[in-house]
Amino acid sequence: MGDFNRGQLHERLQNEQEGPSRREVNRLRAENKRLRECFSREYLFDGWEGCSNRDCIVTGPKKGVATNSTCTCVQDASRVQRSILGQKLNAALANHEQEKE
Ligand SMILES: [Zn+2]
């Protein structure tokens, strides 16, 4: 009982409850936002037309009148389109890996 330091315990509990610092939270928010942009449809499929399928990867989920077959936009893409898409994904991943270090 003698060594028990109420002040220290209180401080320790408070530190544990506080979690990540505001600065860390802000850094993660910014990182999250940047990644969302890097991996957004608008960016990745810029200039693509998309198809009429409900689950089109280019235009996103559709409601109402849409065909039920599978989106083949990526398979049907030209060699150039696929190359650009690959470059964008690689750049986004490399960027993300760098950020983690
Ligand atoms: Zn599609």
Examine residue 1 and state whether it is found in any structural domain, yes or no: no
State percent of the chain over pLDDT 90.
44
Residue 74 near residue 59 (C-beta atoms within 8 A): no
pLDDT band at residue 10 using 50, 70 and 90 as cut-offs: confident
What spacing in Å lies between the alpha carbon of 39 and ligand 1's midpoint? 17
- For the cut 60, the answer to whether the pLDDT of residue 37 exceeds it is yes
- For the cut 90, the answer to whether the pLDDT of residue 94 exceeds it is no
Q: Comparing C-alpha atoms, which of 76, 74, 68, 67 is closest to residue 88?
A: 74
What spacing in Å lies between the alpha carbon of 78 and ligand 1's midpoint? 13
What is the per-residue pLDDT for 93? 86
Examine residue 2 and state whether it is found in any structural domain, yes or no: no
Half-sphere exposure (CA, 13 Å, Cβ side) for 33?
Answer: 6
Q: Specify which of 34-43, 53-62, 75-84 reaches the highest per-range mean pLDDT.
A: 75-84
Examine residue 39 and state whether it is found in any structural domain, yes or no: yes
Examine residue 57 and state whether it is found in any structural domain, yes or no: yes
What spacing in Å lies between the alpha carbon of 57 and ligand 1's midpoint? 5
Number of domains in the chain: 1
Dihedral angle sign, alpha carbons of residues 92, 96, 97, 101: positive
pLDDT tens digits for range 78-90: 999 999 999 999 9
- Structural domain of residue 43, as residue ranges? 7-100
What spacing in Å lies between the alpha carbon of 55 and ligand 1's midpoint? 7
CA distance 45 to 89: 11
What is the per-residue pLDDT for 56? 92
